Amino acid sequence: MAASLALSFPPAAKTPSYLASSSSTFFSSCSSLSFRTSLYRSRNSVSASVKCDLPESVNVGNGNPSIPIINERTLPNFLESARMEKSANRNNSRLKLFSGTANPALAQEISWYMGLELGKINIKRFADGEIYVQLQESVRGCDVYLVQPTCTPTNENLMELLIMIDACRRASAKKVTAVIPYFGYARADRKTQGRESIAAKLVANLITEAGADRVLACDLHSGQSMGYFDIPVDHVYCQPVILDYLASKSISSEDLVVVSPDVGGVARARAFAKKLSDAPLAIVDKRRHGHNVAEVMNLIGDVRGKVAVMVDDMIDTAGTIVKGAALLHQEGAREVYACCTHAVFSPPAIERLSGGLLQEVIVTNTLPVAEKNYFPQLTILSVANLLGETIWRVHDDSSVSSIFL
C-alpha cells in the first residue's frame, strides 16, 4: 500500500507577483544613480535586464507592511521585434516545461512569462519514502525543461530531479535540460582538509548519468562548478534583477560602498560595484573556525558615513552577513543593506536578520521562502522572467542547430 501525494498545478496566473517589504527608511534624497545593465549571452553565461514596477503598499497575512514587486521584461527595440517575429514559432514549438515539488511557484511564473502551460506530471511519495514520477503527457521528440532547485530537503529534491530526468529519457524526449535555480552541494567544491569528498562533482556526475543533456543554473557558489559537468552548462547571473531594484531608490554614488562579506566573494562584489557607477569596494576579513560558524576579524576599506551594500551569493545561517553588518556599523556605516540570490535561511537566520542591524535584506525567489520566515526587512524579487527568456534562447539555439545537423 502506498501513501501517495499527487502534484497538481493551478492554471497559469495572469499576473505573478512576489511580496516584498518596504524598508523603514529609503536612501537619503540625493542625485540619482545611473547605471546600465548589459544584456549579453555567451556559451556558459546568460544575463538579462529586468525592470521592476513598484505599486502601492499593501498588507499581507502576517501583518508586515509589504509592496508587491512585479517584474516586466524590457528589451531593446531590435530584440523586441525579433521576438515578435518568432512568436508564432514559439507557440508551435516542441517545448515542454515541467516542475518538481521544490519550487512550483517559480515554475508557474516562468510558464506564465513564456506563455506555456506547465506539463502534467504525477509525483508521489510511497510509505517508505521512495519517490514515484510519471509524466502524464507525451514528450516524445520534445525539448523538455525540468525546474527543480535542490534546496531543503536537499537529498529529497535531488533524488526527485534525477527520477524526473530518467522518466523523460525513457519517454523518448529529444533533449532534457535540468533548470536548477539553486544548486545544492555547491559549497563542497574542493578539498579544504584531508580525506574530504567533493560532493559538487559527485552531484554533477549523478545529473549527467541520469540522462540530462544540459544544465541551467543561477549564481553558482563558484564558477569552477561548471567544469564538473560533462554536459553544457548555462550559468545565469541574477545581479541585473537586484541592480534594477536598487536603481529604483534615490542614491548617490558618493554615498555608496559595496562590501564583500569575505575574501572569496571579492570578484562578485567588484562586478556588482562596477555596475553601480563603479562604486568603491570594501572587504570583510573573515576567519571561519567551523562549518556554519564565522568570526569577523577586520575590515579593509572605508565605510564611514556611507550606505554599505553587502553582496553574496547566498544567506544560510546569516552568521557571515550579520557579523559583517555589526562590524560595518562599528566602522561608522550609516545604513547596511544585504543582497543575495539564494535565501537558504537555515535556523537561526531569521532571528539574526530581523535583529535590526540590516536596513533591508534583498533576495530572489530561486528558493521558496515560507511565509513564517517573512520579516519586515525582507524583499523578494522574482527571477522568473530572466529564466524564462534564457529557456527561450537556449531552445531557439537548439532548434536552429538541429536544422543544420
Q: What is the pLDDT of residues 163-216, one digit of tens each?
A: 999 999 999 999 999 999 999 999 999 998 999 999 999 999 999 999 999 999
| Distance from C-alpha of 385 to C-alpha of 18, rounded to nearest angstrom | 13
Determine contact, residues 121/7, Cβ cutoff 8 Å.
yes
H or E stretch at 285: strand 281-290
Work out the pLDDT band at 289, boundaries 50, 70, 90: low
Q: How many angstroms separate the CA atoms of 173 and 184, rounded? A: 25
d(CA 24, CA 290): 35
- The amino acid at residue 2 is A
Contact 90, 127 (CB under 8 A): no
Across 24-38, 232-246, 287-301, the highest mean pLDDT is recorded for 232-246
14, amino acid identity: K
Q: What is the pLDDT of residue 224?
A: 85
Task: State the Cα–Cα distance between residues 78 and 185, nearest whole angstrom.
Answer: 40
Q: What are the grid coordinates assigned to 279, written together? A: 562604486
Give phi and psi for 218, each to the nearest 5. -110, 130
| pLDDT at residue 363, rounded to an integer | 98
DSSP 227: G
**Pairs from 6-11 (Cβ < 8 Å, separation ≥ 24):** 6/122, 6/123, 6/124, 7/99, 7/100, 7/101, 7/104, 7/121, 7/122, 7/123, 9/99, 9/104, 9/107, 9/108, 9/118, 10/108, 11/117
What pLDDT, on a 0 to 100 scale, did the predictor assign at position 220?
94
Q: pLDDT tens digit string along 353-404?
A: 999 999 999 999 999 999 999 999 999 999 999 999 999 999 987 765 554 4
pLDDT tens for residues 311-362?
999 999 999 999 999 999 999 999 999 999 999 999 999 999 999 999 999 9
**pTM > 0.95:** no
Question: Is residue 337 within a helix (H) or strand (E), and if so which, with residue range?
Answer: strand 335-343
- Judge whether 150 and 157 are in contact, CB under 8 Å: yes
- Residue 73 above 50 pLDDT? no
What is the spatial distance between Cα 107 and Cα 97, in angstroms, rounded to a whole number?
Answer: 8
Least confident of 36-40, 212-216, 261-265: 36-40
Q: Domains in the chain and their CATH numbers? A: 95-236 (3.40.50.2020), 239-382 (3.40.50.2020)
CA 374/CA 366 separation, integer angstroms: 16
What's the rounded Cα separation, in Å, for the pair 224 and 220? 9
Mean pLDDT of 91-117: 92
DSSP bridge partners of 218: 236
Q: Does residue 58 surpass a pLDDT of 70?
A: no
* Residues paired with residue 314 on neighbouring β-strands, in sequence order: 342
